[in-house]
Amino acid sequence: MSNNDQLVLDALFRDIVKFYSSSQTSIITLNAITAAITELECPTEDFKMELTTVCDIIKNSQPRMFPIDNLIILLEKELQEKDYFSDKDIDARKTAVTKIIESLEERLNDDMNELANQGVKHIEDGDHIILHSVEEGAELLLPEAKRMGKNFEVLILRQDLVKTKQVINILDTAGIKYTVVPEWDLIHFFDKVNKLFIGAYALTVDGKFVSDSGTSNIVSECHIHKLPVYLFAPTLEITNTFSRDQNIYLKDESVSESGSDYNLISHSSDIVSLDLVDHIITEKGAIDKSKLAEYCTV
């Protein structure tokens, strides 16, 4: 796969996470791999190379994306340990790989369901919760809490218009009451809100997490005002790598507006200290941020 193919896939990942959480993006990716394997036509001896190329592209994405990064590593380990590529024709190899992917998808779905069960314990009647992007809190927890009959409201911080629209669609579908304000207007609402819910692309062993651009500003402001910050993530998003190794994408684009021409530089994601997070909630319940390495699955 060429460097251009890598760039195309990276851009696709960055677009998908505007509409879905990183966990749901991982499910979509696994399904796409399965479909590609089914359609792939190549000599038997080339199948391993084709699959390895796709796995490498995913692991080298900008930014790195979890849980899919860890799921791909688990896939590769399973293939290596059981030597699925020896003495098998291409149909047998396709079937074997597909079964492993199906088991990984089932594991992630189970983790997400349990994350929802654990997460709703942290939503109470009368809560006024801040959201700003589509992550597990918006996709899973709030709709489940609403189905349970819990009475709460949401303050949506508008940043990227695509992300904000998707959050609105989720809350509208679930029948959840919300208000939308610009991110910079948050300062005027600290007498009304009582919690911030965020997600992550990755939690790293050096005590950081990678999340949507703009997350750092919001988390910092809430921390200053002593508003509890809740981070919801499956343990498959915990990586034994460091924050500096997360391949944050730097975009440099030419802009022409209102008679001015300039270069606009922006990063795809924020890297934020977990010191600013009060609660990390996983499918295993609340975990100690000082012991992240104990929860690394690969």
In tens, the pLDDT along 179-213 reads 999 999 999 999 999 999 999 989 999 999 999 88
Torsions phi, psi of 68, nearest 5? -60, -35
Cα–Cα dist 176/151, whole Å:
9
In tens, the pLDDT along 9-41 reads 667 777 777 777 888 889 999 999 999 999 999
Q: What is the DSSP code (8-state) at residue 65?
A: -
Domains of the chain with bracketed CATH: 3-114 (no CATH), 123-295 (3.40.50.10470)
pTM > 0.85:
yes
Determine the angle formed by the axes of helices 90-119 and 68-81, rounding to 10 degrees.
140
For tokens 């300039």, name the residue: 262
Strands (E), the chain: 128-131, 153-158, 177-182, 195-198, 202-204, 208-212, 229-232, 238-239, 250-257, 260-267, 269-273, 279-282, 285-287
Cα–Cα dist 191/121, whole Å:
23
For tokens 């193919």, name the residue: 5
3-class secondary structure, 243: helix
Give yes or no for residue 259 having a pLDDT over 90: no
